[in-house]
Every structure is written in C-alpha cells, then in structure tokens.
Structure 1
Amino acid sequence: MELRTKVYSMNAEYISVILNMADRTTHTFYELWLNEVWWILFAVLHHQLSIHANQMVSCILSTLKVLSLHFLKALSVPILILL
C-alpha cells in the first residue's frame, strides 16, 4: 500500500508540472503535448520498472486521461471562437 501511494504521488507531481507549464498559453500547451509528454511518460515508466505491470499501466493510463482532458479543454477554446 505504501508503494502504491508513493507511485500515485509521483505521478501527481509529473501531472502538476505538465499542467503548470501548459497553463502559460494554449500554444505552449500544444508544443508541450507534442514534444514533452512522451518523454515525461518514459521517465515515469523508467522510474517505475520495479512496480507490477498492472499498476504501472494503470498509472500511465490515468496520467494520459488527465492530460487528454486538459488538452481537449485547451482545444475547445479556439473551436468555440471559430463558431
């Protein structure tokens, strides 16, 4: 249980860093999404190699879910402006 808490806490830190960087501008977020997210996810994977595969996949999927939701939120603003 302690290991799982540590993993989720570590992923929360990565997500927090991503979202803080993404909040600067929408353009910055798109660049970050394309250039940095996969490196950060690789770092998460690399750091968690000793964790059971199911836990690792679950953590990565939850990270992707948060990032995708934030990406869609950032994308919706320009679409609404065009409408």
Structure 2
Amino acid sequence: MHRNVELQYKIYSLHDGKQTEKLNKTILDEEIDLHVKEEIIEDIYLTDLGKYKIEIDAQYESWGQNKFFTLSFDEQGINITQ
C-alpha cells in the first residue's frame, strides 16, 4: 500500500523566553510503501552553544504526528528531553 508521506523538521533557538525559528526543512515528500521500513539520515549542525527545540512533523494522507524535543548543549555536553 503506497501513501503520500511528508516529513519535515523545524529547529528553534530558545533564548530569554523567546523561540526563534532557525531552520525549516522538508526531507521527504513522496509516495512510499507503508509496509516497508524507510531509514532517513539527516545531519544537522548547530554551531552556537545554547538551547534549541526540534519539531518533527510527519504527515501521511490525512493523518499526522508531531514530536517535540528540546536539545541543549554547552561545554559539558548535550542534553535531550522529550
């Protein structure tokens, strides 16, 4: 069974209580077989230390799902929360 699938992500910078969109990218927009596992690898480079929100949006036909993650990184390392 093939369905049109659109997968995109948005990255927001979180600073001083404000959310600023830094990047908005569609990485998949095509008909795929829903019974076949698809693996998508996307490299994202954030060069400034700070706190970011990543929104992943998947739409297939009239259904959809959104996932949100908060990513912060500093000299100590990376912290991801959902």
TM-score by length of 2: 0.35
More helix per residue: 1
More strand per residue: 2
The structure, 1 or 2, with the larger RCO (C-alpha pairs under 8 Å, 6+ apart) is: 1
Select the structure of larger CA radius of gyration.
2
